[in-house]
Amino acid sequence: MSEIFVFGHQNPDTDAIGAAISFAYLQKELGKNTVPVALGTPSEETQYALDYFNVPAPRVIEEAGSQTKQVMLVDHNEFQQSVADIKDLSILAVVDHHRIANFETADPLYYRAEPVGCTSTIIFKMFKESNVVIPTQIAGMMVSAIISDTLLFKSPTCTEEDIQAANELAAIAEIDLNGYGLDMLKAGTNLSDKSAEVLLDLDAKSFPLGDKNVRIAQINTVDFNDILSRQDELEATMNAEITANGYEMFILIITNILDSDSELLVLGNSLDKVEKAFNISLENNRSFLKGVVSRKKQIVPQLTEAFN
């Protein structure tokens, strides 16, 4: 029986990695020959979780077709966020908590999407539904994913289901939820040694908005100035990315995980649509967004409406 690859989106965050590991484990327990892989190396936040729970990082792939024809997607569905040869593969299952866009298959598949804060919350429910025991290490990666995606329950995407799942998983993983969670989030804000190119690619996704392609990156920090002091360097790199990839614009969301606010840095065309979407005026290509932390819920839907 050939292997079935399970993976999250490009530039994987903790949920993309954790969900791939946990869903692959669940499917293997249910009789599938599943293997977790990744479409990029783990971030420092994710590596903190992997090291803490002594879980090997999934191997990184750039394409899948030379190794398998069957895949399962977690934490994404949009093809431009997936593996390069996704259109040539047979998608057996999708588990996700994002919008559904640019997705189609030739064959029937298992598709589960729920409006919760984290894909790992859905997978937690699937473990319970299937009566499969969650090992400590797997529980650790799943609770880490929920902490990451909900910013320790501060994100507006967070639901009661996420909180309940996190508490149950924390008990299995034998951690103090708040203490571990804050340490993990802070581990992801150590950015001083990273180049502008790396910073802008840590957590970046491309979104088709109207007939345009928009790149939206997000960086977590505990001090805006740690990032904004490098604005000239970041802008030069963003402009280079716009030119090289034909983006309509490049938006960087800088999120303070302690205060739960964000600063936007925006370059490119159609800047009036950004101002319209958030009822702001950009000054020096920037604007402050109070209480905004979620790209999925507080950025992309508003931009989609503005572009449409």
CA distance 138 to 256: 28
Determine whether the annotation assigns residue 226 to a binding site: no
Determine whether the annotation assigns residue 211 to a binding site: no
Question: With 0-12 CB in 10 A as exposed, 13-18 as middle and 19+ as buried, what is 110?
Answer: exposed
Provide the pairing of β-strand 204-209 with 212-221. antiparallel
CA distance 71 to 57: 18
Determine whether the annotation assigns residue 149 to a binding site: yes
Determine whether the annotation assigns residue 97 to a binding site: yes
Residue that the structure tokens 């280079």 belong to:
240
Phi then psi for residue 2, to 5 deg, are -70, 155
Determine whether the annotation assigns residue 98 to a binding site: no
Q: Which residues lie across from 266 on neighbouring strands?
A: 251
What three-state secondary structure class fits 278?
helix
DSSP letter string, 7-30: E--SS--HHHHHHHHHHHHHHHHT
Determine whether the annotation assigns residue 9 to a binding site: yes
Please enumerate, by residue number, every residue annotated as part of a binding site.
9, 13, 15, 75, 97, 149
Please enumerate, by residue number, every residue annotated as part of a binding site for Mn(2+).
9, 13, 15, 75, 97, 149
